Amino acid sequence: MELQVVKNEVIKLIDIALSEDIGKGDITSEACIDDDASLTAKLILKQHGKLAGLPFLATIFQHVDPRITLDLYVREGSEHSAGTIIGSVSGPARGIMSAELVALNIVQHASGIASTTALYVEQVAGFPCEILDTRKTLPGLRYLEKYAVKIGGGHNHRYGLDEKFVINKKHLSFLAKTSKSPIKEAVKRARKYRPGINVEIAVESLDLIEEALAAEADIIMLERMTIPQVCQAVKIINHRARVEFKGCVTLETVLAFAQTGVDGISIKDLTHSIQDLDIRLKF
């Protein structure tokens, strides 16, 4: 996915978030803060982590009031300790206070994802194994969350159902009603429907691997297998297809799965139920 496309989608998200939060106006700030009042506030990192979403901060503040300026002291994707001053925001006090929550929500969430992803990437350093995200993203936040995964050093599995074929148990169960070789039939149909797009087959047992290879699947996704089973599967496939694993993977177990020789590991926890990174705006 092109970066500009991602940025355009995040800007749409920002428009929705600001409209949702401010509504017809920040009546508290309008009542308590003089129209000509100005201030400078500091963005402060309250815990160690990798920063993501910084390029969107200026868009958020200036959407509320174009007179607001943002100075960043650190780079996107850089890692810092608690207490680091990320940057400063200056301009009309009302506008800064009105935009504060949306700005923090965006950068905290993106940074939490980038920080978690970076931890997984660090665990598998030295192995030719990619850390992949999934489609388990919060509604409306997919582009931001997948962008943050890449900032953390991870890779995007696919943005949506229209990007590549992923044939799994539900598709094979349906085709099994009319075909003796549902994997072969599924791959054939996919190739005919949209030539030139990678076809991935998800398998939950070793028995299905040879059929997936015979069907010439581009990618074989091993699901819910033990580490010994994954090792055996990688030997059977023997570089005849890309191999990915998807299952219950944690920071404690990801290295063991990488050591099996898989090319990628999909981890839903990169974007699902993630803990945001603590960042504050200090007035």
Q: Are residues 55 and 153 in the same domain?
A: no
**Do 220 and 234 have their domain in common?**
yes
Q: Are residues 43 and 116 in the same domain?
A: yes
The pLDDT of 109-127, averaged and rounded, is: 97
Based on the fold, state whether residues 87 and 206 are members of the same structural domain: no
The three-state secondary structure class of 13 is: helix
Q: Quick one: 261 and 220 in the same domain?
A: yes
Mean pLDDT of 108-131: 98
**With 70 as the cut, is the pLDDT of residue 1 above it?**
no
One domain for residues 142 and 264? yes
pLDDT band (50, 70, 90) for residue 4: confident
Q: What is the pLDDT of residue 2?
A: 72
- Give the pLDDT score at 273: 83
Question: Dihedrals φ, ψ of 191, to 5°?
Answer: -60, -40
Residues marked as catalytic: 136
Which CATH number covers residue 158? Answer: 3.20.20.70
pLDDT 10s digits, 134-152: 999 999 999 999 999 999 9
Please report, for the domain that includes residue 49, its CATH number.
3.90.1170.20
Q: Is residue 5 predicted with pLDDT exceeding 90?
A: no
Q: Would you say how long the chain is, in residues?
A: 283
Q: Quick one: 100 and 130 in the same domain?
A: no
Read off the pLDDT of residues 222-247 as tens digits, 9 standing for 90 and up.
Answer: 999 999 999 999 999 999 999 999 99
Q: Are residues 11 and 53 in the same domain?
A: yes
Can you tell me the distance from the alpha carbon of 116 to that of 119, in angstroms, rounded to the nearest whole number?
A: 5
Q: What is the mean pLDDT of residues 202-214?
A: 95
Full domain range(s) for residue 31: 3-121+275-282
Model confidence at 179: pLDDT above 70: yes
* Percent of residues, the chain, with pLDDT higher than 70: 100
Position 23 pLDDT exceeds 90: yes
Question: 216, 202 in Cβ contact below 8 A?
Answer: no
Total domains present in the chain = 2
Instruction: Tell me: do 193 and 111 sit in the same domain.
Output: no
DSSP H helices, the chain, are: 3-22, 27-32, 57-64, 93-123, 142-151, 169-175, 182-193, 209-214, 227-237, 254-258
Q: Same domain, yes or no, for 28 and 8? A: yes
- Asked if the model's pLDDT at residue 6 lies above 90, the reply is no
Check whether residue 111 and residue 196 sit in a common domain: no
Note whether 95 and 137 are same-domain residues. no
pLDDT tens digits along 57-78: 999 999 999 999 999 999 999 9
Please state the pTM of the whole predicted model. 0.94
With a cut of 90, say whether residue 3 has pLDDT above it. no
